[in-house]
Structure 1
Amino acid sequence: MLIPLLAALLTGASIFLLVLGLSGALQPETEDVSERIARYGTRQVSSLQELELEEPFTERVLRPLIRSMAQAISRFTPQQVLENQRALLEAAGNPNNWTPADFLGVRGLAAIVLGALPGILLFLSGASFLRVIGFSAGFALLGFLLPGIWINRKIQDRRKQILKTLPDALDLMTISVEAGLGFDQAMSKVAEKWGDNELAKEFNRVITEIRLGKTRREALRDLAERTQVDEIRGFVAAVIQADQLGVSIAKVLRTQSEQMRIRRRQRAEEQAQQASIKMLFPLVFLIFPAIFIVLLGPAIPRIMDALGAL
């Protein structure tokens, strides 16, 4: 009884530590050059080993391990799989600036760690060979699937944030265009106003791509492909069609903003209608049993005494 409990506790702790470590393992380096010079150039270092030991654990161990795992996996991975992983990372906003090979390395490392831990524990407890292999394979599959579940969650959260801010962004673009600014300058205004917003980041990327030589049509199509949001696809299609036919961009933006607000109101009404059904399960399984215990609890001894007397 002690061995399964210990295995469960260690497995849960390993999952927590693995997710915590991977979340910061491949974070982009933001240290300025001047800070690095001040850090290493103004003091004497006795050896290169001492300098390396001052780096955090993620930089010394976890990052090289993920990189090597990514290189090993990418050699045997088809190009189509890498492109699919790239599309997922683009839809999630490129978390931690991971490449498709890095993400596959994270999945492979998670599978190895979660697969090896219960296998070692069961082997030390004297379990059968088939049981060790079965548990190791199951936990390895779980470790491989967990980063995919996490990235899908990131995609859903990012889509919700984009949908929430899109009508307000279109209103600001409409006011800017009607005031005399161009379409590109209006997108820059949105990116300037909401710098930390996911939609503002995408608009800023579109402006950057246009400045680097990509046409507006191609940049907008790439925007729709990256976000994978139906409302963004409709907005991009309307803007491209207006550009081709010579229709006023201001009218198109005003129409699009009104439609986005109607859709946002419809989504809010839909969620309000679903609230009563979602509340049914916690009411039946959590709240009602507690109420029954409080109300009927004092009467149970009297009922038992009455039944015993009969």
Structure 2
Amino acid sequence: MTPIILVLGLFAILIMVGSFFLLRRSEEDPLAARIDEFAARDEAVSIEEIELSMPITDRLFVPLIRRVSDFVVRLTPQTTLERTARQLELAGNPRNMSAAEFWVIRGFVTVVFTGLTLLMMWRFGQPTNKMILFSLGAAALGFMLPIMLIRSMSDRRKQAIVKKLPDALDLMTICVDAGLTFNAAMQKVDEKWDDALAREFGRVIYEMQLGKSRRQALKDMVDRMEVPDVTSFIAAVLQADQLGVGIGKVLRIQS
């Protein structure tokens, strides 16, 4: 039983490490964040200094994943990539991964799990049939683990949005009653908090600045969330726009 326990323990460690480094949420580009950080300093810095200041995962693994993903795009059906992109969007776009990059990670985790299992089983002199059985199980686990983590992140994101929505509605109601527009009220939420709902409001404002209509931007936000409470709220706002009803009244009812 010793090799089995070791293999399971190794899987547990890999799951924790993978969850933190590969799928932790990162809303902004790491390089852009570093450039902004150094721009605030008085002394001049070189591009090399900026790159070396980035974590090793961003300097080595991320560029490698992106190169391989260019090859994956040509091999993977478009419908599969679109479905994966949708799952990543619902999870909040962790680390701003593309669908192809996510498939590269799935393949990498599958290979690592399978290889380490074979190595451990061989090291402890396990029979061939058991090595094959455990390696197949490890491959299945490695292949499914990333998507399981993404789904878990999506569920947690939805729960966080539902929890934060009442506070956001209260603030928006106060802002509108004070004379601000609905757009300005959304921007206030984005400025006050740093959470999934606030970032979505900020994205709506940004898309409107790029020329998208408010109606379409709000509909797109609803699609990115799939949260019934948000869907009902936005439907009420859009209906109020259509009927000429004051937004303040809608906000008071919703809050």
TM-score tier after normalising by the smaller chain length: 0.7 to 0.9
Tell me how far apart the structure 2 counterparts of residues 204 and 65 of structure 1 sit (CA, whole Å): 31
Tell me how far apart the structure 1 counterparts of residues 154 and 181 of structure 2 sit (CA, whole Å): 31
Q: Deviations over 1:179-201 (max 9, x none)?
A: 2221111111222222x122111
Q: Compute the displacement of 1:61 (Å).
A: 4.0
Q: Check the 8 A contact 1:71/1:101 in 2, yes or no.
A: yes
Number of equivalenced pairs: 249
TM-score, normalised to structure 1's length?
0.70
CA RMSD across the alignment: 3.0
Q: Deviations over 1:192-226 (max 9, x none)?
A: 222x1221111111011111100011000001000
Bigger radius of gyration among the two: 1
- Aligned residue for 1:213, secondary structure, equals coil
Question: Which residue does the alignment assign to 2:144?
Answer: 145
Question: Which of 13, 27, 30 does residue 28 from structure 1 map onto?
Answer: 30
Tell me how far apart the structure 2 counterparts of residues 124 and 189 of structure 1 sit (CA, whole Å): 59
Tell me how far apart the structure 2 counterparts of residues 42 and 145 of structure 1 sit (CA, whole Å): 38
Q: How does 1:18-57 map to 2 (within 5 A)?
A: 18-23=18-23, 28-29=30-31, 30-32=33-35, 35=38, 38=44, 40=46, 57=56
Change over 3 Å in CA distance of 1:136–1:88 after alignment to 2: same
Runs ≥4 residues deviating over 3 A: 1-21, 23-27, 33-43, 52-57, 123-130
Q: Check the 8 A contact 1:107/1:147 in 2, yes or no.
A: yes
**More displaced, 213-222 or 62-71?**
62-71
Q: Deviations over 1:228-268 (max 9, x none)?
A: 101111111111111111112111111111xxxxxxxxxxx
Q: Which runs of 5+ in 1 are unaligned?
A: 44-51, 258-310
Q: Check the 8 A contact 2:222/2:230 in 1, yes or no.
A: yes
Question: Which residue does the alignment assign to 1:220?
Answer: 218
Q: Check the 8 A contact 2:161/2:196 in 1, yes or no.
A: yes
Q: Compute the displacement of 1:14 (Å).
A: 3.6
Question: Which residue does the alignment assign to 2:200?
Answer: 202
Q: Letter of the aligned partner of 2:38 in structure 1?
A: E
- Aligned residue for 1:31, secondary structure, equals helix
Q: Letter of the aligned partner of 1:28 in structure 2?
A: P
Change over 3 Å in CA distance of 1:103–1:210 after alignment to 2: same
Question: Which residue does the alignment assign to 1:235?
Answer: 233
Q: Check the 8 A contact 2:25/2:94 in 1, yes or no.
A: no
Q: Which runs of 5+ in 2 are unaligned?
A: none
Identical positions, percent: 44
Question: Which residue does the alignment assign to 1:85?
Answer: 84
Q: Deviations over 1:38-96 (max 9, x none)?
A: 554799xxxxxxxx999754245422442344334332222122112112221121111
